[in-house]
A and B are shown apart, each in its own frame.
Chain A
């Protein structure tokens, strides 16, 4: 996040658009939207200086529900869109929104490289352990025994650990939140945005329509028992043994963010042409 003119007394309502969400009532993403707007208000950023970039899926509908600049892109490619945008417009605050299908499946490769590149942006994945928009197929974080039409009896394939993948790939900030605690989530998001480099925030956000069993999440989540570490080794151990419900900032790295110098210069065309001159 770069220093910008902050507005006095920004309110969350300043960051909400008038577009009514299509999310099912009871969806965790309503809380996530609340967390976004509260975080933006906390930071006092002008809405026009924020870009919310997403892919495809229920979670990816969020940009239009904010009053910021938004990009509802194609499935799995939000991180690439965001990388091109941020590198050429370092003045903007870029927040990327995705889900467990869009982000970890089709978007998996871009996830690795976004962590590796460490461009300054915040990546929020609303994880509901299912493909919601397309009606309930297993995702990379779905439990192997979870029965679905596409994988009757369960996939039999173990879910992966996105937080471990993020750490191994170089993410500079790793946190997990629960949508049902929108104020805590807002605080973590604000921290994530302030933290330089690639910040990854996974938000457990239950799907009321296809995973009503996720109602129990509010009883299963718990604050992380230890504070965030700067040590990658420690973080690796903690994340590998994580129960999937530790809430809080789990890792803060100090890699410098990637940002090439961009901006108009006095163009000396002859310098470009010299290579060719006979």
Chain B
């Protein structure tokens, strides 16, 4: 769990947009990283799932850039958007990856991420002084809630895996 001090200071609307942008970009990078891992480890179904998730987060990021108008969210994000502890809210937990993971698992990771982002923006709504920031944070909460619903819908398409999902009849191989 993260403490308030683990998250970047959001003092203005531009700060909020920068942080929101960074959250999406971090998620894009993380999903692409997972897609690469799945590619190296011969799990093509998950390559597609993670690339799709990366694309979706990329679109979210672009939306935030549009919202920011002329303001350079990218540069500002690099300055201020540093998350401590477990990292940026929507960054999927790498330690939960598995070479035999199923789409259900990937979507669980995504769901966790979206919920964390939602909680983060909710906390800003609750603590922000600037009404513009409060309002925008509220908007972002609604966005994240939509994302959560989307993931739930996707999850209904993929059954939870069977008990033996991680079974591999072949033993690990020593490379050195």
Residues of A participating in the B interface, judged by any CB pair closer than 8 Å: 9, 11, 20-22, 24-26, 28, 30-31, 56-57, 133-136, 179-184, 206, 208-210, 215, 218
Contact among B34, B93, B94, B174 for A134, CB-based, below 8 A? B174
Q: Which of B39-68 contact A (CB under 8 A)?
A: 39-41
Nearest-neighbor residue (CB-CB) of B41 within chain A: A25
A21-B40, A183-B83, A183-B84 given as contacts; is B172 within 8 A of A210 (CB)? yes
- Residues A134 and B176 in contact, CB atoms below 8 Å apart: yes
Q: What are 16 inter-chain pairs, A to B, with CB distance below 8 A?
A: A9-B78, A20-B36, A22-B40, A25-B101, A26-B95, A26-B99, A28-B95, A31-B94, A133-B174, A133-B175, A133-B176, A135-B172, A180-B95, A208-B95, A215-B95, A218-B95
Least CB distance, B28 to chain A, in whole angstroms: 12
- Distance of A20 Cα from B40 Cα, bound (Å): 7
Nearest-neighbor residue (CB-CB) of B91 within chain A: A182
- Distance of A78 Cα from B133 Cα, bound (Å): 52
Q: Which of B13-55 contact A (CB under 8 A)?
A: 33-34, 36-41
Neighbouring A residues of B96 by C-beta, 8 Å: 26
Q: Does B82 contact A (CB under 8 A)?
A: yes
**What 1/0 mask marks residues of chain B from 159 to 176 whose CB sits below 8 Å from any chain A CB?**
000000000000111111
Neighbouring A residues of B38 by C-beta, 8 Å: 25
Neighbouring B residues of A133 by C-beta, 8 Å: 174-176
Neighbouring A residues of B95 by C-beta, 8 Å: 26, 28, 31, 179-180, 206, 208, 215, 218
Neighbouring B residues of A136 by C-beta, 8 Å: 172
Neighbouring A residues of B40 by C-beta, 8 Å: 20-22
Given A30-B94, A135-B174, 18 further pairs, Cβ under 8 A: A20-B36, A20-B37, A21-B37, A21-B40, A24-B98, A25-B34, A25-B41, A26-B97, A30-B33, A133-B175, A133-B176, A134-B174, A134-B176, A135-B171, A135-B173, A183-B83, A183-B84, A208-B98
